[in-house]
Amino acid sequence: MTVEGVDREGRAWLEGEFLLFRGADYRLKIPLVPVPKLRVEDGRLQIGLVTLHLGARAEKWAEQIAHPKSLVEKLGVKAGQSVVALGMEDTSFLAEKPGTRLKQNLDFVFLGAGSPAALDRLTKIRESLAPAGAVWIVYPKGSKTITQNDVMSATKAAGLVDVKVAAFSATHTALKAVIPKLARSAPASAGRGARR
Name the amino acid, one letter, at 134: A
Instruction: Specify if 77 maps to a domain.
Output: yes
pTM of the complete model: 0.72
Position 122 scores a pLDDT of 98
pLDDT per residue over 53-67, tens digit each? 999 999 999 999 998
Asked whether residue 46 is assigned to any structural domain, the reply reads yes
Same domain, 45 and 86: no
Predicted pLDDT of residue 186: 44
Range of the domain at 45: 2-66
Say how many C-beta atoms besides its own lie within 10 A of residue 178's C-beta. 20
The string of pLDDT tens digits covering residues 70-109 is 888 889 999 899 999 999 999 999 988 999 999 999 999 9
Considering the domain architecture, whether residues 174 and 88 belong to the same structural domain is answered as yes
Share of the chain above pLDDT 70, in %: 93
54 with 136, same domain? no
In a 13 Å sphere around the CA of 86, the CA atoms on its Cβ side amount to 19
